Amino acid sequence: KNEVEQSPQNLTAQEGEFITINCSYSVGISALHWLQQHPGGGIVSLFMLSSGKKKHGRLIATINIQEKHSSLHITASHPRDSAVYICAVRGIWETSGSRLTFGEGTQLTVNP
Amino acid sequence: DTEVTQTPKHLVMGMTNKKSLKCEQHMGHRAMYWYKQKAKKPPELMFVYSYEKLSINESVPSRFSPECPNSSLLNLHLHALQPEDSALYLCASSQLGLEETNEKLFFGSGTQLSVL
């Protein structure tokens, strides 16, 4: 079992739909990152969370530390949101902030 | 300027070639990273530089040689690579050094490397 598990692996939606991507982890963490990777490679850091909820535009990220679970929500989805969304955590045992444990990613496709 | 710039975007090299990947940022970040990413897999950390000193080497083979000439530049020198080294190589940076544990990472667009 991976330390970071994402679901679903693949998600197809129609434009305008509300989307949720889930991330569960099995270890104590000090931070959780949500990343977006478009075809062609570039990765964009969307959120870094250690508690609660963050919102940026149509994106909302929540984390429940007790349940070891985070969700990324996209409201009013658009085809340009099509990308791979990756959850990554920094374990509390890590002495370095640069060592992240990554999930396998969720491939999101939004059709017009 | 909030960009991390990587060059080249694509590179094809033979197993006997020597080449270099370059990464540049002008955000004043003091930590820089190299990641390797195979298709449909998450990134794997290779090296971390903190304040221009190599702080982490994740047991990377010596055919990969990192260099940090100054706080804005990060190079990855490649020599005698194998076909299995073909991957997307991503550079990233963060504002402060390793003692700051919960920082946002800024990634470049990557260099897609093919080793023939």
| Pair A72, A59: CB distance under 8 Å | yes
pLDDT at site A95: 61
* DSSP category for residue A79: G
CB–CB contacts below 8 A, A to B: 68
pLDDT at residue number A76: 96
Cβ pair B42:A30 closer than 8 A = no
Condensed to tens digits (0 to 9), the pLDDT of residues A28-70 reads: 888 899 999 998 778 999 999 889 999 999 999 999 999 999 9
pLDDT above 80 for A94? no
Contacts of A100 in chain B (CB under 8 A): 45
Q: A80 by DSSP, 3-state: which?
A: helix
Chain A residue with CA closest to B109: the answer is: A42
Asked if B94 lies within 8 A of A44 by C-beta distance, the reply is no
Picking from B42, B37, B80, B48, the residue whose alpha carbon sits closest to that of residue B61 is B80
Residue A100 — very low, low, confident or very high, per pLDDT cuts 50/70/90?
A: confident
pLDDT band of A96, cuts 50, 70, 90: low
Residues of B in contact with A95 (CB under 8 A): 98
**What's the mean pLDDT when you consider all of chain A?**
91
Residue A97 has pLDDT above 70, yes or no: no
CA distance B52 to B69: 7
Chain B residue with CA closest to A92: the answer is B101
Q: What gap in Å lies between CA B67 and CA B62, rounded to an integer? A: 13
A chain contacts of residue B102, beta-carbon cutoff 8 Å: 30-31, 48, 50, 90, 97
Q: What angle do CA B95, B97, B100 make, to 5 degrees?
A: 85
pLDDT, residue B98, reads 47
CB proximity B105 to A under 8 Å: yes
Closest by Cα among B102, B95, B104, B45 to A31: B102
**A73: which 2 tokens?**
């929500």
Pairing of strands A69-74, A83-91: unpaired
Q: How does pLDDT run along chain B (116 residues), one tens digit per residue? A: 669 999 999 999 999 899 999 999 999 998 899 999 999 899 999 999 988 999 889 999 999 999 999 999 999 999 999 999 999 999 999 887 545 556 788 999 999 999 99
- A 82-101 near B (Cβ less than 8 A): 86, 88, 90, 94-100
Q: Which chain A residues are closer than 8 Å to B55 by Cβ?
A: 96, 98
Q: Reduce the DSSP state of residue B91 to 3 states and report it.
A: strand
Q: What is the pLDDT of residue A13?
A: 97
Task: Report the largest interatomic distance among the alpha carbons of chain A, rounded to a whole angstrom.
Answer: 45
- Burial label for B70, CB within 10 Å (0-12, 13-18, 19+), is exposed
Picking from B90, B98, B106, the nearest residue to A98 by CB comes out as: B98
